[in-house]
Amino acid sequence: MTETVSATTFRNFIGGKWSASASGESYEKRNPWRPDEVTGVYAASIADDAIAAVEAAVDAFPSWSALPAPARAAFFFKAADAIEARVEQIAQDMTAEMGKPLREARMESARAATILRYSAGEAYRPAGEVYEPSVGNQTLYTRRRPLGVVGLITPWNFPVAIPVWKLAPALIYGNTVVLKLGFEAPRTGLHIAECFAEAGLPAGVLNVVTGSGSTVGAELVSNRHVRALSFTGSVAVGHAVRNEATARNCRVQLELGGHNPFIVMADAELDRATEAAFAGAFWSAGQKCTATRRILVQDAVYDAFRERLLARIAAAKVGDPADPVTEVGPVVAAGPFEEIMAAIERGKGEGGTVAAGGVRADDRGYLIAPTVFENVADDAFLSCEEVFGPVTSLYRFSTLDEALGRANAVEFGLSAAIFTRDLHATQRFANELQAGILHINSQTAGADVHVPFGGLKNSAWGPHEQGRAAMEFYTETVTVYQDAPLG
């Protein structure tokens, strides 16, 4: 695609320089609220661009890894300041290119600075342990060392938070990075490169490329200089990445899909549960792996909860994501829009009934009304497969045993929530629910920067992300036996 003169053109960041794709090709990104608006033109990178980025990271690794960790952290503080200075611009760009409501985009943009500051603090945390030796005059300890070049393949749905929570631990522990941004939200991610450039980060430490995963991502997966790969995306693509990369002994971390249950017990605070279910299912137009996909409600309060949820949906602000009061905006692009609408039709065809939504809500934008299904069979498509949009389903249950069993009866295990005042129920939920992130009396989405984030079953593979857990993936352990000199 040739570059248009009506939109700003953006380039890759490789070796500390801004450069066009080696092919000279580019692609347009359009506003999902008003698709006739081009929000930017981006480098349609090819394998040669990925190779150049890897080579720059290889060259930068010796000096970056030798730099004391507190000196590395100094760049993080400067980059965090730069992000905070442009939070509003990042948020507006995010809203324009992928449709996230402005109020959510502002929160995500500010969170990126928080993640950087947390990771900077890792420079002052232990990176090894001292052990009692089994012989005299010996010191026995472990050290954590960086791996080398790390490839990061990130999605479009959290276009600043996910790239930052991957690259921050990778860099602070001494690795160099090649970051492949989500195809549908490149402008947001390029702000990260701009902020690190403003911070004076040495050339080649962070390299950022845009374009298709089938070209750039594929090169990162196969390149022998890439020692580790962290991927967030679909199950099918993630498993393909894992299989190819691990075959060459590359370390792999996957964060994949979710089909997250939300259990409402008879003793729940229904108003709180309703608000949490609405937020979990429909914020970000349901385009997040931690979104609420299945709402299981105990018989005694099913009708009361249903009434509250439908009333909350009817009162929701749905529409222009640039309006600060909007709660639900469009989905990211035409392709996902068509997939979600097809899933809604499949749900109807398999016997589900639509209690709310199920229709296009704007004749120009890719806006889908918040959708709630009922009477969906446990083995139906909507009960088993992730629909990445503003679609959830209501189910009745009788006992806690039934709720836990049905909640666990999918291949995914990322996040789950329960609303109850019963300590016994919360203990069983914490012990038996098969998910990596458990919420008691809060929504299924949300993640603090200082604790592990990751799923079980087909929702993840490899060590979890964020917090101290990130060290497990981005470093390798070396055991050192140091004997005292004899003389």
Determine what percent of the chain is predicted with pLDDT higher than 70: 98
pLDDT digits (tens, 9 = 90+) for 309-341: 999 999 999 999 999 999 999 999 999 999 999
Q: What is the pLDDT of residue 4?
A: 36
Closest CA to 281 of 195, 208, 371: 371
Q: What is the pTM of this model?
A: 0.95
Q: What is the pLDDT of residue 40?
A: 96
As a whole number of angstroms, the distance between CA 58 and CA 63 comes to: 10
* 487 band by pLDDT with thresholds 50, 70 and 90: low
- All residues at 6 or more sequence positions from 135 whose CB lies less than 8 Å from its CB, including other chains: none
Closest CA to 84 of 122, 123, 114: 114
> How many residues can be counted in the chain?
487
pLDDT digits (tens, 9 = 90+) for 33-47: 999 999 999 999 999
Tell me the backbone φ, ψ of residue 392, rounded to 5 degrees: -140, 170
Flag whether pLDDT at 433 surpasses 50: yes
Flag whether pLDDT at 2 surpasses 50: no
Residues tagged active-site: 255, 289
pLDDT digits (tens, 9 = 90+) for 415-425: 999 999 999 99
Output the average pLDDT for the chain: 96
CB atoms near residue 396 (< 10 Å): 15
Identify any residues that bridge with 150 across adjacent strands, giving them in sequence order. 177, 228
